[in-house]
Structure 1
Amino acid sequence: MAKVLFVLASLLIFRNDLLINAAFDSSIIIEMAKIVMDNYCTVEKVLGMKNAIEAASSNTEVLNIPDGESLARILTSGVRGTIIDPRPVVTFEPNYVPASPPKMPPLPPEQLVAVLQTSIKLDILEGNIGYLRIDHILGEEVAEKVGPLLLDLVWNKILPTSALIFDLRYTSTGEVSGIPYIVSYFTEAEPVIHIDSVYDRPSNTTTKLFSLSTLLGERYGIAKPLIILTSKNTKGIAEDVSYCLKNLKRAIIVGEKTAGGSLKLDKFKIGDTDFYVTVPTAKSVNPITGSTWEITGVTPDVEVNAEDALATAIKIAKLQSQIPAIIDGSAALIADNYAFEKVGADVAEKLRGLLAKGEYNTVLSQEGLEIQLSADLKTLSGDKGLMTTKNTPALPPMNYSPEMYIELIKVSFHTDLFENNIGYLRFDMFGDFEEVKPIAQIIVEHIWNKVVNTAGMIVDLRNNVGGPTTAISGFCSYFFDADKQIVLDKLYDRPSGTTTELRTLAELTGARYGSKKSLLILTSGATAGAAEEFVYIMKRLGRAMIVGETTAGASHPPKNFRVGETDVFLSIPTVHSDTTNGPAWEGVGITPHIPVSADAALGTAKGILNKHFAGQK
């Protein structure tokens, strides 16, 4: 930094092409550097200026510059380049008269009303969407003076709206004390929130800004949508308000990136001259991000041209106005239909709580709503099957030829025969019973008959992601004897309030494997749904040894429900296995008898069976 200013001083002294009769003393550089060093808001950026001051003070040459304006421009460029900040400016103003801070004059009520009506624009848009434009952020003191009028003319008309569009596209001035005053109307009274920290360099003090626990009039609250419009002309205090509300996740910002202005600018006279330097003397540090909007500006959540911001905001507000009904409808569907009644009621209550806390205030699109709702449902329930879904119509049944069915079955199933007559069967999805029944004979001939006469069998479900459970009874039946019907599981259906027993079938296509021969089932963390139901039954009845990893802990196949008359659909598990003797497998998975990694499961299973058959010889 010192080097940069020293080069600047040399440039000002020795550029012969600028030499004319006008002359300025080099003390200008010294005084300017001192002012910047003592008052600029970020101390770290000016630490090296001490050396620059010493270098400049030892130079007794006269600055030969055409005029004051030219020197001011060069000094401005030098300061900005040195501290990497476009905001400082040096001016040459022989006739400058310091302006007094504006004060609210004592106006008659009717004139005060006229002033407020010209500076604040209010409208109620279609769909009960409020529109409020303020071009100057009032300080707390002035706001309190005109507060009753503001309530009657503006705020009380805004309160009944379903959503608010707060237009700050033209707001370039304001008072720091207005920041917590505005932000507080969109937060709760308690607890008080730390919304900003303001460091003032001249006094070397930091002031923390907190939301206000008491306000004149009612709060807009945290549940109703708030959309802030911004433009490249949104500056200073308006940027701070936008940044605070954005990072509190209380507002959606729509429009252009803001100016990247200053919280506070002060103008200083440079020595006994007509030069002045204006520098940012205070800076905002947001407690949530640890950074600031100054210089960089506030980046919108939805970036559009300023002139398109209002129309875009209206679309978002209309979507936002539908969200309470969608969340409430989702909660009701889950409470009434989720497989486990207590869990469903708890999820519904917590989901409504998230809405009340404003957790859906920053949703920008239906897709975004569905993504957030899905994530919340999975978190609240711990059930991966409870989520939003697409209303995809069922595909019509395919008319395959017998040859095509054979090829499809060969791809879907994998068999092998290991030493000691150990059979291996792998398939990665369960099919619907009504779809499988017509091709059962083909499956038996081309798949089942290859492994049914083995001495022991390994059924590999490590990659089986589930599917319909309608074929579970039939598949289980192959591993039990025909002389006795066995209750495999009891399934409770929440919407109908009925319980159905899964039993082994008396008649099957093809030969049974029976209940005597060894059966090992391989599992992994991906084994889910119907595959887990099969593993659960076989383990609980002691028919198979489970080798591998704990299963996914998914659910029975869910049903799809439409949320009201909207285009949002929920996938809700409605059935659960018998829990009269304790928890089943949903949500927790099935622990194997022999826990090993999925990759090692097949080798372990083969080792177990080989050792078993070796002992029989």
Structure 2
Amino acid sequence: MIPTTSPAALDATAVVESIADLVRENYVFPDAARQLADLLRRRSADGAYPAESAEGLADAVTSDLRSVNGDLHLALKYHAVPVPPEQGAAVLATARRRFDASLGGVPRVELLDGGVAVLEIGPMVFPLDWAAQPLAAALSLVAPADALVLDLRRNVGGDPNTVAFICGYLLDGRTHLNTMLSRQGEVAEQSWTPPFVPGARFGGDKPLYVLTSADTFSAGEELAYDLQQLGRAEVVGETTRGGAHPREGWTVHPHLELSVPVARAVNPVSGTNWEGTGVRPDVPCDAAAALDRAVALAVARLA
């Protein structure tokens, strides 16, 4: 429940109390949820949280939220622009601004010499109802290429349904990508590539390389991990950040959004995920050099 303070006011004690309740009730790992709720209340009682700055409170609470198991999806996010109170609205408002400024999440489509196409997806994997049209256009455009480099170095996360949509262009046949387990350990959802995609497929046989960086996160990591585990792509670049848990967002103050993972992903090939470890590249190199390295590998393979 959002504390009933005026938009300009910050009641840090009430905000932290609401955060403790939400974490305890929703975090995918119940034991850690209880630990975190107790920690937040104890720290609040000790006066550890700043009462004068929403941004300072966000930094302090986020540090404590990640102190138990290092889950990077656990966070109290500060928004300079006031955000709507509805659940999930804060992250969508931010994502929409990024979507409108990035050609719908496909800022680069290019054909290089030698028949190698480069497609950048970023800065996020946007919700499918927004991104289906630009992604279908871009993926269809690169479909005739002899090899494809998928650049995720600046991709910081997004929608697993869109990950499945993208994979539908890069694989042959309907393919199981992930199973989401609930807080109770039950199957909450399965992720499969769609049986049909609009436009042309690149397909499941031609050379495919995925670029990663230390900034690649969440759904960006899932796209790289899914293709790697299926043996469909070689990952080139840096080990990614390591955030595998799908999250929900709650507005707990007009400038503060709480992010809490509500499920965990299990890959059908590895039996695990990339949480805490990141996606480890098949060809490690600096992110800045990853494109040149992948293109050289593609050209050599085609030759």
Q: TM-score range by the shorter chain?
A: 0.7 to 0.9
- Separation of aligned partners in 2, 1:414 and 1:562: 33
- Separation of aligned partners in 1, 2:249 and 2:185: 15
Q: Name 2:28's counterpart in structure 1.
A: 339
Q: Name 2:131's counterpart in structure 1.
A: 436
Q: Name 1:577's counterpart in structure 2.
A: 265
Q: Name 2:3's counterpart in structure 1.
A: none
Alignment of 1:39-438 (within 5 A): 323=13, 326-355=15-44, 358=46, 360-361=47-48, 363-365=50-52, 367=54, 368-389=56-77, 390=79, 392-393=83-84, 394=89, 409=103, 412-428=106-122, 429-437=124-132
- Separation of aligned partners in 1, 2:250 and 2:25: 11
Say which SS state the counterpart of residue 333 (structure 1) adopts: helix
Give the conservation status (yes or no) of the 8 Å contact 1:370–1:388: yes
Q: What amino acid does structure 2 have at the position aligned with 1:595?
A: P
Q: Name 1:526's counterpart in structure 2.
A: 215
Q: What amino acid does structure 1 have at the position aligned with 2:60?
A: Q
Structure 1 residue aligned with 2:242, among 553, 573, 578? Answer: 553
Q: Name 2:192's counterpart in structure 1.
A: 503
Superposition misfits of 4+ residues, deviation over 6 angstroms? none
- Separation of aligned partners in 2, 1:465 and 1:362: 28
- Separation of aligned partners in 1, 2:216 and 2:130: 22
Alignment TM-score, normalising by the size of structure 1:
0.41
Say which SS state the counterpart of residue 170 (structure 2) adopts: coil
Q: Name 1:282's counterpart in structure 2.
A: none
- Separation of aligned partners in 2, 1:604 and 1:506: 33
Residue 366 of structure 1, CA deviation = 5.1
Work out the number of aligned pairs and report it.
278
Residue 574 of structure 1, CA deviation = 1.7
- Separation of aligned partners in 2, 1:593 and 1:607: 15
Residue 498 of structure 1, CA deviation = 4.7
Q: Name 2:156's counterpart in structure 1.
A: 465
Structure 2 residue aligned with 1:544, among 230, 233, 246? Answer: 233
CA deviation map 1:29-50 (0-9, x unaligned): xxxxxxxxxxxxxxxxxxxxxx
Give the conservation status (yes or no) of the 8 Å contact 2:106–2:119: no
Q: Name 1:598's counterpart in structure 2.
A: 287
Q: What amino acid does structure 2 have at the position aligned with 1:339?
A: V
Q: Name 2:278's counterpart in structure 1.
A: 589
Q: Which range moved further: 504-513 or 571-580?
A: 571-580
Say which SS state the counterpart of residue 423 (structure 1) adopts: strand
Q: What amino acid does structure 2 have at the position aligned with 1:365?
A: E
- Separation of aligned partners in 1, 2:27 and 2:72: 13
Structure 2 unaligned spans of 5+: 1-8
Give the conservation status (yes or no) of the 8 Å contact 2:112–2:118: yes
Give the conservation status (yes or no) of the 8 Å contact 1:340–1:576: no
Q: RMSD of the TM alignment (CA)?
A: 3.3
CA deviation map 1:180-200 (0-9, x unaligned): xxxxxxxxxxxxxxxxxxxxx
- Separation of aligned partners in 2, 1:504 and 1:568: 35
Residue 566 of structure 1, CA deviation = 9.7
Give the conservation status (yes or no) of the 8 Å contact 2:117–2:145: yes
Question: Using a 3 Å threshold, how does the CA distance of structure 1 residues 600 and 434 change in structure 2: closer, same or farther?
Answer: same
Q: What amino acid does structure 2 have at the position aligned with 1:523?
A: T
Q: What amino acid does structure 2 have at the position aligned with 1:461?
A: L
- Separation of aligned partners in 2, 1:567 and 1:418: 44
Structure 1 unaligned spans of 5+: 1-317, 399-404
Give the conservation status (yes or no) of the 8 Å contact 2:178–2:192: yes
Say which SS state the counterpart of residue 515 (structure 1) adopts: coil
Residue 520 of structure 1, CA deviation = 0.6
Residue 461 of structure 1, CA deviation = 0.6
Say which SS state the counterpart of residue 379 (structure 1) adopts: coil
Give the conservation status (yes or no) of the 8 Å contact 2:139–2:201: no
Residue 444 of structure 1, CA deviation = 3.9
CA deviation map 1:226-264 (0-9, x unaligned): xxxxxxxxxxxxxxxxxxxxxxxxxxxxxxxxxxxxxxx
Alignment TM-score, normalising by the size of structure 2:
0.79
| Structure showing greater Rg | 1
Give the conservation status (yes or no) of the 8 Å contact 2:213–2:238: yes
Give the conservation status (yes or no) of the 8 Å contact 1:491–1:575: yes
Give the conservation status (yes or no) of the 8 Å contact 1:467–1:557: no
- Separation of aligned partners in 2, 1:363 and 1:603: 47
